[in-house]
Copies of this chain bind each other. A is one copy, B any other.
Amino acid sequence: MLNSPDLLTDSPEGRGTASGVRQTGRGRTRGQAKGQQTRSAIVEAALGLASHVGLEGLSIGAVAELMQMSKSGVFAHFGSREELQISVVREYHQHFEEEVFFPAVAGPRGLPRLRAMFANWMKRTSIEIEAGCIYISGAVEFDDRPGPVRDALASSVKTWLSAMNRAVVLAKKEGHLRADTDEQQLTFEIHGLILALHYEARFLKTPGSVERALAGFERIVKEHQTPDAPPAPVTQFAAQPTKPSQRP
């Protein structure tokens, strides 16, 4: 499990890079810079579309219409629908890094970082209850379609799960989690809580799903923590409502 070479690695400064998912290079000359800008805008629009219709729902035509560009104009930037889909996966990966991973690794190692990762992941999943997570929809769309889009998607997800795994290892090293904690087991169970949150809140519209995911996480922590573990901040998730407008 998680044997992907693509690891989100956190440097001492607390900033990571996703070596496995190539970054889109940013402008060299002015002409290139302008081209990159347009390309980025197209990818951003395509990501928005994919969050609603799925990666498989993406087409050069639909993205061109959204961008008010010609199909050949969009085509010139990607060359194929597949390349557009892969670019969307990379873009999503970057968003995920920026919203979930970087803020967490900027904080202290150990259980606080693991909690921050889970809370940010939950927050991202809760936002996506409106739009859908391409890691989840993409897994269904591409699970039996081998090829570069599937590979990019699986690589990106594995990178993230490896980062979670690493956070568990560090929490053990910090003495917050017991030394006999099975990190792959913990990562599996935490992943399950996020998948259940997405399924039950988004598809079944079950109230209380966010609270249940959080309670599940704290139950897992409680079972594996040492007496040295820092306690959960009481208002951790409640203090960061993702849809404040819907709260009473």
- Residue positions of A touching B, CB distance < 8 A: 1-2, 52, 54, 132, 136-137, 139-144, 154, 157-158, 161, 184-185, 188-189, 191-197, 199-200, 202-204, 206-209, 212-213, 215-216, 219, 223
- Are B136 and A202 neighbours in the complex by a CB distance under 8 Å? no
Given A1-B207, A184-B212, A204-B158, A196 contacting B199 (CB threshold 8 A): no
- Are B204 and A188 neighbours in the complex by a CB distance under 8 Å? no
> In angstroms, how far is the closest chain B Cβ from the Cβ of A207?
7
| The residue from B132, B216, B219, B223 contacting A140, defined by CB atoms under 8 A apart | B132
CA A194 – CA B188 in complex, angstroms?
11
> In angstroms, how far is the closest chain B Cβ from the Cβ of A215?
6
Total copies of the chain: 2
CA A157 – CA B207 in complex, angstroms?
16
- Are A1 and B188 neighbours in the complex by a CB distance under 8 Å? no
| The residue from B1, B142, B208 contacting A200, defined by CB atoms under 8 A apart | B1
Chain B residue contacts of A199, Cβ below 8 A: 136, 139, 191, 195
> In angstroms, how far is the closest chain B Cβ from the Cβ of A184?
7
Given A185-B215, A216-B185, A52 contacting B144 (CB threshold 8 A): yes
CA A132 – CA B158 in complex, angstroms?
20
